[in-house]
Chains A and B, each alone.
Chain A
């Protein structure tokens, strides 16, 4: 099964880079047997260095000048479950007017993504009357365009970064649902959404204690959905194969339903039987793949269990 694409975006200063660093720092050492590793060893060194500067020296990462793709593998017990391409979108790109192609490029990225991660800083959810960041408005416009052009939905994870700054997270979730991205939570819209508060730790910028929380969940959700889709596709292929086998079996029976016909059609019957055997072999392989996928899915599911996650489908909250 091919790797998936995950596009992360958010306003400048919303904490995208920090979030990615924390996610990698936590997941490179692993949680309950799950690990994320970079496909390029040099990327691993870069991310580890940046994290060390943050954790040890308290140096926050610089603002980013350009978007970048990172290639990761999600593994269980060091055995690859799924690879993913993490597209880290430069903060200001959403509102950039100087490059007219930027939005087109971003929309194309959306189309190639299995999941979109939107970072919203917990700071903007603090007040009773929230300030909707310009980039969130832009995101709404882009999603409208995405739906119009593709007719599809794509799983969206809204990562609430700096969630320690938002005292009442339940209220924060409501603000996102009601005031910021209500379209994603409308009944009958078909969107699959997760709101995931994450935190790197607590304290002020100068005196910060690093203690990452929930940082692995958004990607787990994305991979979980991708595996589910793979299973669905594989099951469809198995069904199609089995239907073809049945049809061919019927043809074989028709070709050889008398002694003379069996002799006369001997060659065709052999060809059909060859095709049946090939199809059965292919079905066997697909069934084996499906079993592996289901096993991986069960493993990931454990990370997403419980009623404390904010997962929504079609505007309604659900739990696994």
Chain B
């Protein structure tokens, strides 16, 4: 008897955005979330799918999934562009409960495009409903299994990604297809950057040609966080105001009888002030300067601006003032 699988299809159709079109009958919402993270990782830099379709394999304790992410035109001649004329791309995969070997051949995945055809023109509210299918799709296992057998280090840590050359694709596929533990592999990812952004533990990338696997640490660089850290550091260097309540009583008594030293000025703050004042003295934009200690005219502008904002926040005023010191023109 031929081994049987359930389908997993993630695609958009002519009018409706990306969503699952077909899932296994026992898939829960959490399982969909889990699978979707991997699927989205396979679809990064989608334009490159034309040249290099991506093969992926990911599993947890319940499911083993083998998938192909490619342009729709790789699987079908019709229904391959959305209503804006944009070429479609998608993920099609097979799900099983145990480890399995499915060959890296597009024609094996071609029948799954039927789920896209079935939903192609559906723009009703049912368009987003997915089809649940049992483990009933047979796949002929009389294929010529590749003899390329190698042993690899299977990375199962999420804080790093092992990058291989695409030359080893077949060997990697063979090895991970039989790997009994939860793991993940995606072949033909465009770049090491995409590999880092994605969630696969093991990948092959188009831009890596090395013989040995390359290990990349997956610590996300959060630029916003970095900039906030710099700002915090800057704020820390400025001397905070001495809180009066924290002055010990004994010091107060000593101060009362012997006086206290006058506070020192903060040099950095002083420099900043001077620098800013120098900038202020030499305006570089047509001689105008809207400084605070400017002649009357500029101060007037400031108050107008301020008033504008105040008015903006008040909602039910009879005669609102236009914001930014502007003027109504209707």
Q: Which residue numbers of A lie inside 8 Å of B, CB to CB?
A: 2-3, 12-13, 39-40, 42, 50, 53, 59-63, 65-66, 71, 83, 85, 90-93, 95-98, 153, 188-190, 192, 205, 224-225, 228-229, 231-232, 235, 238, 264-268, 270-271, 273-275, 277-279, 281-282, 284-285, 287-288, 290-292, 294-295, 297-299, 301, 307, 311, 313-314, 316-320
Contacts and interface: CB of A to CB of B under 8 A. Distances in A.
B273 to A, nearest CB: 5
A92 B305 CA distance: 40
A278 B242 contact: yes
A291 B86 CA distance: 49
B241 A278 contact: yes
Contacts of B244: 271, 275
B289 A291 contact: yes
B259 A266 contact: yes
B208 to A, nearest CB: 16
Chain B, interface size category, equals 35 or more
Interface string B74-101: 0000000011111111000000000000
9 contacts: A63-B12, A63-B86, A228-B323, A266-B259, A273-B263, A275-B241, A287-B292, A291-B291, A294-B291
Contact of B276 (A95, A98, A288): A288
A232 B306 contact: yes
Given A13-B84, A65-B46, A83-B227, A274 B323 contact: no
Interface in B239-268: 239, 241-242, 244, 247, 251-257, 259-260, 262-263, 265-266
A119 B255 CA distance: 65
B277 interface: yes
A265 B255 CA distance: 9
Contact of B43 (A65, A266, A282, A301): A65
A279 B308 CA distance: 28
Contacts of A297: 290
B196 to A, nearest CB: 10
B329 A319 contact: yes
B24 to A, nearest CB: 16
B228 to A, nearest CB: 8
B210 to A, nearest CB: 20
B290 A85 contact: no
Interface stretch (B14-22, B137-145, B163-171): B14-22
B289 A295 contact: yes
A83 B231 CA distance: 13
Contacts of A189: 315
A285 B328 CA distance: 35
Interface string B149-180: 00000000000000000000000000000000
B131 to A, nearest CB: 13
Contacts of A294: 290-291, 302
Nearest to A40: B223
Contacts of A91: 17
A237 B308 CA distance: 18
Given A63-B18, A190-B313, A228-B309, 9 more contacts: A40-B223, A63-B12, A63-B82, A225-B324, A268-B256, A271-B242, A279-B241, A287-B292, A311-B326
B221 interface: yes
Contacts of A301: 324
Interface in B277-330: 277, 279-280, 283, 285, 288-293, 302, 305-306, 308-310, 312-316, 320, 322-330
A60 B326 contact: no
A313 B193 contact: no
Given A189-B315, A266-B255, A62 B87 contact: yes
A305 to B, nearest CB: 10
Given A228-B305, A270-B260, A270-B262, A192 B323 contact: yes
Contact of A318 (B130, B228, B256, B327): B327
A311 B326 CA distance: 10
B221 A96 contact: no
Contacts of A238: 292
